[in-house]
Every structure is written in C-alpha cells, then in structure tokens.
Amino acid sequence: MLSIASTILRHRAVRCWNGQRAMATVISGNKTSQLVRERLKKDVAEMRSHFPGFRPGLVVLQVGNRDDSNLYISMKLKAAAEIGINANHIRLPNTASEEEVVRSIVAVNENPAVHGLIVQLPLDSVNPIDTEKVTNAVAPEKDVDGLTSINAGKLSRGDLGDCFIPCTPNGCMELIAQTGVSVAGKNAVVIGRSKIVGAPMYDLLLWSHATVTTCHSKTRDLAAQVGRADILVVGAGKAEMVRGEWVQEGAVVIDCGINYIPDSSRPSGQRVVGDVHYPSAKERAGFITPVPGGVGPMTVAMLMENTVQSAKRFLKTYHPGKWTITYTELRPVHPKPSDAAISQACAAKPIMKLAREVGLFSEEVEPYGRHRAKVQLDVLTRMRAQPDGKYVVVTGITPTPLGEGNTTTTLGLVQALGAQLNINSIACVRQPTAGPTFSIKGGAVGGGYSQIVPMEEASLFLTSDSQAVSTATSLVVDAIGSRMHWESQQTHKTLFDLLVPLRDGQREFSPPQLKRMEKLGIDKLDPLTLTDKEIRQFVKLDIDPFKVSVDKLNFSIGNEIMAILALSTSVQDLQERLAKMVVTSDRSGEPVTTEDLEVTGVLTVLLRDALKPCLMQTVEGAPVFIHTSPSVDIAHGNSSILADKMALKLVGPAGFVVTEAGCGADVGLEKFFNIKCRYSGLQPDVVLMVATVRALKLHGGDQQNINLLEFGCGHLRGQIEHARAYGLPVVVAINTFSSDSEADLKMVCAQATLAGAFDVVRCTPWTEGGAGAVALGKAVQRAAEIPHPFKYLYPLEMPIEDKIRTVAQRMYGAKDIQLSAQALDKITLYTKQGLANLPVCIAKTHLFLSHELERAGVPKDFTLPIVDIQANVGAGFLCPVVDTTMAPSHRPVWPCYHDNDLYSVMQ
C-alpha cells in the first residue's frame, strides 16, 4: 500500500529554501483511488484467468428512492463495472417492511455468486426498521462495508486480517500512507465517534501503533487536543468546525466531512465543504485532503477493494461445480443391525443444512420438521442457465419375492459418487406407499447402510402428497355424484341460474364455462343471449349412471392424478393436464372432463404444494428427492419429472442424478423412456440394471428349485437387450450377498457381458453403504462418457395398434397382439378424437414378462391379449389393458404392522 502512489506525493520539509513557509501538500483522493482501481482491475483479470467464467459479485440493496442514495449507488456501480465486478442493484419500495428487507439480505447472503453486499443507508421506508438489525443481517464474510457487529468486534481486538474494515476509515489509512509519514509512535486525534468513521478509525490507528485520542462534541478544550495531533482525522459532520490555527504545523489532516453551506456565487446557491476550514488549515498542515476530491473517492475505492478481497477469500475454498458438503462417515457393524436400528442410530443433519450444501436458498426450502423439506419450483427459474448433470436411470430384472434391491443400489451409488468419489450426486426415487400389508417387502426407501433416513418419516406420510391426491380424487368423485343429483332434481333454467349466478345485475361465464361453450360449438360470450336449447346443452352433462362406479372412479381417477403430478413440468402444466382428465362419459358416449365439472381450479389448489419435490438424505448424508408414486402396472411407475429436472440443475454439468424406474426393464424402463422422457425432454446417459444371483435362480426355475441359474441368466440377457434397445450403455450391478458363490457370480458376470453390457460390477451397498458401490460408481462414470445416440422405441405418429405391438414384441417377447372388439372400437374412437399420437402405457403385470403366470422366465411365441384401451388424456397416454392371469394374492398372516408401534419407532 505504501508504494501505490509514491510517484505522486513525497513528504517534504515544512519550510522552503527561502525560509518562507510552504503550503500543505494536497493529498488527492481522486488520483489515489484511480491507482487502487487499476490495481484491482488487474487482480480481477488474474482471477478470471485462473477461474474462467468467474467474476467477483457485488449487490447494493436500497430501500426507497432517495436522490442522494441514487447518486452514491451510481458511483459504486460505475466503479464496479470499470474494475470488472459484476454489480447488481436491488431496490425495494419505500413500503418494504423490516422482515422483507431482512429476507432480501438473507437471499443475497446465500447466493455464492455474490461476494459483497452493501445496504445503502439511510433506509427510506414508511415502516419502522431497525437499522442495526438490518445491518447485522448481512453475512460477515460479505459485509464489504464492514458495519456488522462481528466485523467491528474483530477490528476492535486487532484481528485486521480476519475482518472487513469500514471503507471510509480504510480509505483514510490509504491516504495517510501516501504521505510517507509513519503512523507508529505518532499522536493521532480522531474527531467523531460514529460506527462508520470515528470508532473504526480509532481502532485502525491504534493497531498501527499510534497514540490515539478520540474527541467529540463534549470534549473540553478541543483546540488544544487538535494542536497536539501529528495525524488529525475529522468526521464530526459540522461544517468547517476545525480552524486552521488549531492545527499543528506539519500535521497530516484527513477531512471526512461533507457539508453544504450557502454560496450565492454558485448556480445551486450552495457549495460543499469539509469539517476542516480548508483555506486556513492548509497554511499550517503538512498534508491535507480536499473536499470534495479527498476521502470521498477513496471510500468507493475501498469498497471495491473489500469486494475483491472477499472474492479472493472465496476462491481459496472454491472448487468450480463442487458442493461444500459434509458426509457422514459410516462405521458398519457386523452382524448388521436391522434397517430400523441403523436409521435410528443415524445422526441425520438438519435438512436446512443439507439444502444449503447443495445450493438451495432458504427462501426456496419449506421445512417439514427437522429432516424433510419441500423445494419450491422457483429453483428451476433461478438455475435455468445452469447446464444439466449426467442422468442415470436405474432399472432391474423382473421382480421376485426375494427382492433385487433397486432402491438400495440407487442410494448406494449416490453415496459412492458423493461421499467416496467427491462428485455432486442426487438420487430421485418414488414416494413409498404402504398398502394393505404395511410394506411387507420393505418401506421402499432402501435398506441397510444405503437407505433414506429417518426411515419411518420417509416410509409413512412424508409431506402429505398422497393425501392431497386422495382428497383431489374424492373431490372429483363427489362432483360427479353432485352433478348427477342436481341435474335430476332441477330444471335446466334453474341449474343455469345456479351455475351462472347474477352478480351486480350481470351474468358472466367463468373460464371453464367458456371452454365448455367452445366444446359445444356455441360461439357466444354473453350468457343472456343463449337460447333455451343452448342453455340445456350447457347445463346438462347427462352423465351415464351405468358408467359411474365409486370404487372404479376412485381407483382410475386417483391413479391418473398421481401420474399427472409425476409428469407435470410446472403449475400451469399441472392445471392444463387436470383440465383434460376424462373422468366419465355421458349417455351418448361423449367424454366428461374435470373442466366440464368446473373443478380444475380447486384441484390445482389442492395439488399445488404436492407438485414440489421433497428433499431428504441417506444414511451418509447424500441428498435424495422423494416425489410422487404412480403405479408401474397401470401408469408409468416413475418419480416426478420436476424432481429429476431440479436435481440435474443442482448437481451441475459434472454431477450425477440417479433416478429410479419402477420394476423391470420391460415395464418401468420402457415407460420411463417412451412416456417420461418424451414429456420431460431429458435424455439419460446410462442405464443401470440391478440383479441378484438368488433372484436369477428363481427366474431359472421356481421357488422349489432355485438351482437353475444358467436358465435364469437368460432372463437377465433378455432384460439387458430390452435396455439396449434405446441406444444407451448398460451397466449391470450384481447386488451381492454373502451366500453367493464365486462360481455363480462369475457366471452372471459372463452372461451379462455376452448380452452386451458395458460393464458388470459386483456391489454391496446394503452392508457397506457407499464404500460397497465405489467400483459401480466408477463404471457408471466411464459409461457416461461414451457417445449415446438415444432413441425411442417407436414414433408417436405410429398407429395405436402398431405401438402396442412394438412394445409387446420388443419388450415382452410376444409373437403378436390380439385386440378385443372393445379395444378395436376404442382405437377408432381415440383416433377420431385426435388422441392417436399419444404414447402407450400398457397395463400389464410387472411380475413376469408375459401375461400368464405359467409363462414365467423368458417366454416366446405367445399372443398378448388386449381387452380394452383407456385414455388417460390428462396424464397424456393411452392405457391398453392386458388380460392377465395372476397368481392368487399372498397377503401375509403376519404383515409388517404387527411389528410397529409408537415405542418401537421412538427407540
């Protein structure tokens, strides 16, 4: 700092050669500040050369619209632009409350792209605002004004290297340095004790080893105190209060005052002066700062200095694209405890901490207790310019009663990528549904050391999304019943008066009613102009009572609403999909939609919060989105598009999102690609297929003969072929157990390789967590780097029958399909209604490839019977229904609810 302007100013003798006293040297703040800016400009350029795309960020927060504040802000923004700092101005209205101001500050605090935050004072609001509270809301590491209590405290105790120094005092010290006068050992006097200038100026001089005296309005004999000062800093806010004759000869005088006094010679009628009487003081001082052109420019320069310094500190721990996240170190216990015991022993971190670690802001997260949170969709808007990460979809072989561990492997892989390989990674899974046996096969939240915790919170009600779907379903069913009742009880004119009520002497159609008018072909906007026939057409939905079964409606409507929730990409998309839902038909066979019932708006309100993904964590502290639970047999069986999209933005271009497709590759993965990927626009990079030796033995024979592994591997080969049909590399994960023999494992690896798998990896996520899936993580990384020409199984323009046949032949191994008369009629109807270009979602059992239990394994040359085709118009797919022969239900005598109570959960 001492050499920055050594060519401009030199300390010189108080008297000149002829014995006459020389006037004080003027310390130019303009010239010194320009040198500071030039140096900072070089610093920023160097930063950007080492970190391409990086720029120091500065935000100026203003409340109100004061002219003087606007002037100061424009100076700061101009200086920032000159240096290369990315500066933004946030202006809140003068009606802003204290809470709104603090909320805005917190949002900036959490933005990693901002390294400096200035709250422009005074706060010009009509509401009472505690300036101290607002100032201290600024994060100390971004407090480039140096006004928070933490920075002030560090300065007062001499921690100058670990705090930000207020800009005006810092600028004063820079100007003193330009004189060449050493501060150490000098008598220094500071007039003024404000938190912005006087108090920090005292501290700076003291820790520079001067003997410092602070003076103020109540100081006795102020002139005498000033006369003893080798260094005088004045910030009292009183025009020309310090007279020249008070000043010690040769003293350094720093004038921080800005005051306006009348001056009739000026066009404005006033001029700016400092706190020191400049004409007389410059006759005695050795060095003096002018006003204007002295301390003022240095204040702005030091603000830029602090911002650049903050950015440098940030870069010391900055790793582009990497989260600053802490993972829990596992200490697996042998023999392994139960899943519940592991969950309860896990010290999960607060969900808000996890949210901050993955780049979410407080305002974007809605906590549901300590371990769960909803994430607002605004994140997608904020991060729209962020490139997506790598996209991995997890599938498996056809499920068996023994379980394959798809979810466990999904979570173990994410833990391996994150905790072991230091790669940003998020898992996306479906929300568990307990069902009548209370999750007899498990809670669907993983297991062992690769599970979501707390297990009981994830497995039960989570954030009430399922309840929202249930409520919405009941509303639609009730609306159908209510409409049928009132149409049978009221005349069409009375019903019209009820549906289009008279308000303030006028009747107006609601938006849904206008849509119905358009559907009916009635081109009238004024309700009063409708004829009697048109009124009857409008009010009479004429729902066919034979098509109304409460149980069937609850089932079909509930499933479609959950599918809509999973496939929607925004609130607007959700509402549009809900409006298209066909919930029943009238007596002539025409579809009746939720929009006809005028319930679309309230359905959207009910489901609005359910559209937000839920954030939780694994045993090792890796992030997980749990969202939606569409069935895999009658719907597409995948977690939500929004969860995947949000996760892909959060992990960044070098990160991984591992999403799970329900059940086997023939069902869940097919629907993932041909339905979910079509509506999301996302294209995966890798398919991960999970298999176990014991499950393949079941596929090779039956539960009484589990030794036919080689035959079972035929099923694995078939599923690998199904996955490869989409052009992506397939990595096979063999979820390994202690009972697996080396010979069996080698056979499975060899068979998978012969089927064209990119790699085959043994893993143990259940017993070892992420450490048991490191090799799998590395294989997935390698697979994601190879070119992957993704392709769909069929084009949407293909006729409905051919789309069904394509899926049946290529995914199930069928020779052909057989359409019933009812299915053929539906194809004709849907083609006429313009629905022929929708993808198909075949409603078939996920428990075996064919439709018949006796054709388990890898059946060939069978005909798949299609008995009906349903149109889920809101979800956006046609649902061909397979005539499936199922095994009798094996509901257990001892389901899981016998082993759960409050005491066991609380342990």
Of residues 29 and 464, more confidence is placed in: 29
pLDDT tier, 463 (very low <50, low <70, confident <90, very high otherwise):
confident
374: annotated active-site residue: no
Which pLDDT score, from 0 to 100, does residue 707 have?
A: 64
Q: How far is residue 507's CA from residue 595's CA, in Å, rounded to a whole number?
A: 19
Tokens at 857, concatenated:
């394994």
Q: Position 210: which residue type?
A: A
Which pLDDT score, from 0 to 100, does residue 208 have?
A: 96
Of residues 729 and 589, more confidence is placed in: 729
Q: Give the contacts of 821 (CB within 8 A, at least 6 positions apart).
A: none
Check residue 432 and report its DSSP letter.
Answer: P
Q: How far is residue 612's CA from residue 570's CA, in Å, rounded to a whole number?
A: 10
Mean pLDDT across the chain: 89
Partner residues linked to 62 by β-bridges? 91
Q: How far is CA 716 from CA 601, 734, 832, in A?
A: 46, 11, 41
Judge whether residue 477 has pLDDT over 60. Answer: yes
Query: What average pLDDT score do residues 62-74 get?
Result: 93
Q: How distant is the alpha carbon of residue 612 from its chain centre?
A: 10
The length of the chain, given as a count of residues: 907
Residue 350 near residue 356 (C-beta atoms within 8 A)? no
Question: Cβ atoms within 10 A of the Cβ of 517, count?
Answer: 19
Q: How far is residue 632's CA from residue 174's CA, in Å, rounded to a whole number?
A: 70
Residue 476 near residue 583 (C-beta atoms within 8 A)? yes
| Enclosing H/E stretch for 602 | helix 600-607
Smallest Cα–Cα separation from 322: which of 426, 422, 428, 427? Answer: 422
Judge whether residue 60 has pLDDT over 60. Answer: yes
Which pLDDT score, from 0 to 100, does residue 901 have?
A: 53
Judge whether residue 891 has pLDDT over 70. Answer: no
Place of tokens 């003969």: 705
Q: Give me the phi and psi of 390, to 5 degrees please.
A: -75, 145
776-827 tens-digit pLDDT: 999 999 999 998 889 999 999 999 999 999 999 999 889 999 999 999 999 9
Residue 83 near residue 35 (C-beta atoms within 8 A)? no
Of residues 575 and 845, more confidence is placed in: 575
Smallest Cα–Cα separation from 659: which of 405, 453, 426, 417? Answer: 426
Lowest mean pLDDT among 40-54, 424-438, 484-498: 424-438
Place of tokens 């906007």: 525
440-452 tens-digit pLDDT: 344 578 899 999 9
Of residues 154 and 539, more confidence is placed in: 154
Partner residues linked to 452 by β-bridges? 618
pLDDT tier, 700 (very low <50, low <70, confident <90, very high otherwise):
confident
Smallest Cα–Cα separation from 667: which of 719, 721, 702? Answer: 719
Side-chain-side CA neighbours of 11 within 13 Å: the count stands at 13
Q: How far is CA 368 from CA 340, 352, 467, 782, 844, in A?
A: 21, 10, 15, 38, 36
Check residue 653 and report its DSSP letter.
Answer: T
Q: How distant is the alpha carbon of residue 659 from its chain centre?
A: 16
Judge whether residue 4 has pLDDT over 70. Answer: no
Judge whether residue 555 has pLDDT over 80. Answer: yes
Q: How far is residue 160's CA from residue 164's CA, in Å, rounded to a whole number?
A: 8
Percent of the chain, pLDDT > 70? Answer: 92
343-370 tens-digit pLDDT: 888 889 999 999 999 999 999 999 999 9
Which pLDDT score, from 0 to 100, does residue 702 have?
A: 56
Residue 398 near residue 629 (C-beta atoms within 8 A)? no
Which pLDDT score, from 0 to 100, does residue 854 have?
A: 62
Tokens at 197, concatenated:
């200038």
Query: What average pLDDT score do residues 15-32 get?
Result: 73
Which pLDDT score, from 0 to 100, does residue 1 have?
A: 41
Q: How distant is the alpha carbon of residue 357 from its chain centre?
A: 11
Smallest Cα–Cα separation from 639: which of 655, 626, 621? Answer: 626
Sign of CA dihedral 443, 449, 450, 453: positive
Q: Is 437 exposed, middle or buried (0-12, 13-18, 19+ CB in 10 A)?
A: middle
Question: Cβ atoms within 10 A of the Cβ of 420, count?
Answer: 18
Question: Cβ atoms within 10 A of the Cβ of 432, count?
Answer: 21
Which pLDDT score, from 0 to 100, does residue 319 have?
A: 84
Which pLDDT score, from 0 to 100, does residue 263 have?
A: 87
154-189 tens-digit pLDDT: 999 999 989 999 999 999 999 999 999 999 999 999
Q: Is 205 exposed, middle or buried (0-12, 13-18, 19+ CB in 10 A)?
A: buried
Q: Catalytic: which of 76, 580, 645, 649?
A: 76
Query: What average pLDDT score do residues 839-853 get?
Result: 82
Torsion, Cα of 152, 156, 162, 165 (10° steps): 60
Q: How far is residue 186's CA from residue 191's CA, in Å, rounded to a whole number?
A: 16
Which pLDDT score, from 0 to 100, does residue 902 have?
A: 45
Q: How far is residue 590's CA from residue 576's CA, in Å, rounded to a whole number?
A: 20
| Enclosing H/E stretch for 394 | strand 390-396
Torsion, Cα of 140, 145, 149, 155 (10° steps): 90
b vs e for 123-143, b when ≥16 Cβ sit within 10 Å of the residue's Cβ?
bbbeeebeeeebbbbbebbbb
pLDDT tier, 672 (very low <50, low <70, confident <90, very high otherwise):
very high
Q: How far is residue 192's CA from residue 32's CA, in Å, rounded to a whole number?
A: 24
Judge whether residue 511 has pLDDT over 90. Answer: no
Judge whether residue 621 has pLDDT over 80. Answer: yes
Q: Label the pairing between strands 373-375 and 591-593.
A: unpaired
Q: Give me the phi and psi of 19, to 5 degrees please.
A: 85, -10
Of residues 148 and 218, more confidence is placed in: 148
Smallest Cα–Cα separation from 82: which of 41, 114, 36, 45? Answer: 41
| Enclosing H/E stretch for 633 | none
Residue 821 near residue 858 (C-beta atoms within 8 A)? no
Judge whether residue 20 has pLDDT over 80. Answer: no
Q: Give the contacts of 546 (CB within 8 A, at least 6 positions apart).
A: none
Lowest mean pLDDT among 22-31, 132-141, 354-363: 22-31
Judge whether residue 853 has pLDDT over 80. Answer: no
Q: How far is residue 880's CA from residue 674's CA, in Å, rounded to a whole number?
A: 15
Lowest mean pLDDT among 130-139, 322-331, 600-609, 850-859: 850-859
Q: How distant is the alpha carbon of residue 669 from its chain centre?
A: 26
Judge whether residue 857 has pLDDT over 70. Answer: no
Smallest Cα–Cα separation from 12: which of 3, 1, 23? Answer: 23
Residue 389 near residue 323 (C-beta atoms within 8 A)? no
Which pLDDT score, from 0 to 100, does residue 437 have?
A: 43
Q: How far is residue 640's CA from residue 626's CA, in Å, rounded to a whole number?
A: 9
Percent of the chain, pLDDT > 90? Answer: 67
Tokens at 606, concatenated:
């009910």
Q: Give me the phi and psi of 449, to 5 degrees please.
A: -95, 15
Place of tokens 């962020």: 386
Task: For each of the domains in the chain, give its residue range(s) and CATH number, in order of start.
Answer: 25-307 (3.40.50.720), 339-463+612-785 (3.40.50.300), 467-604 (1.10.8.770), 800-882 (3.10.410.10)
Q: How distant is the alpha carbon of residue 332 from its chain centre?
A: 32
756-771 tens-digit pLDDT: 999 999 999 999 999 9
Coil vs helix vs strand at 38: helix
Q: Give me the phi and psi of 232, to 5 degrees please.
A: -120, 125
Coil vs helix vs strand at 365: strand
Judge whether residue 673 has pLDDT over 60. Answer: yes
